[in-house]
Amino acid sequence: MRNHLSALETLTNNVSPETFRDAVAILERAQRVVWRGAGPSAALATYGQLMAQRIGKPSIAFTHTGTSFADELLTLAPTDTLVVLAYGRLQADVRVLLQHAAALHLEVVLMTDTLAHKLGDSVDVTLRCGRGAPRLFASHATTLIVIEALVLGVAAIDEAGAQATLTELNELRAELTRRRINVGAQ
C-alpha cells in the first residue's frame, strides 16, 4: 500500500493540472478515441474504451501486436484521437503507430513512464504515470487512475450527455435482466 501511495504522490508531481486539462480537452473534442495498449496494458486500453463508451464517447481499443496490428492501423481515421499506453522501451508498434498518426494529423495523448523524452515531439500531451517502484512488481494502478480521471473529466464537460448514455445503459441492462440495475460509469 505504501508503494501505491508513493506512486500516487509521484503522479501528482508528474502530471500538472494544466497538462491533465489539455489531455481531457483533446479527448473531449475527439469523434472517436482509440486506446492503444499491448501486453498487460491491453487490458487497460480495453477498460478505457469501455469507460469512455459508457459516457457516450465513441471508442475502440487497439490491442494486437505484430503484423495483426496492421489490420487495426488500417481503421484509423483522420477524426480519431489516440491514447497510447507505452512503457519501458520503445516498441516498433508504437513507433509505427505514431508515424501513421502523424500522417493522418491525429492528436495523441501519451501515457508513459520513461518514453517522454523519446516520444515527446511525436505527441500532443504526455501524462507521466509510472508502473510502480523500479525493480519491484510492475503495477498499473496509477495508469488506471489516470484513465478513470480522464474519462470523468470528459464526462464533466458534457454531463447531460454522459448521464443520458448511462440512463440508456441502465435501461438496456434492465431489459436484459428483467430487473432494474442502476449503475454509474463503473
Residue-wise pLDDT for 105-135, tens only, equals: 999 999 988 888 888 889 999 998 876 555 5
The domain defined by 2-157 carries CATH number 3.30.1330.60: no
* Domain boundaries defined on the chain: 2-157
Question: Cell numbers 499491448 correspond to what residue?
Answer: 38
Q: What is the pLDDT along the chain (186 residues), one digit of tens a residue?
A: 777 676 677 777 777 889 999 999 999 999 999 999 998 899 999 999 999 999 999 999 999 999 999 999 999 999 999 999 998 888 899 999 999 999 999 999 999 888 888 888 899 999 988 765 555 566 788 899 999 999 999 999 999 999 999 999 989 988 898 887 776 644
Q: Where are the alpha helices (DSSP H) in 15-91?
A: 17-29, 40-54, 68-73
- Give the integer Cα–Cα distance in Å for 171 and 5: 38
Q: What is the predicted pLDDT for the residue at 132?
A: 56
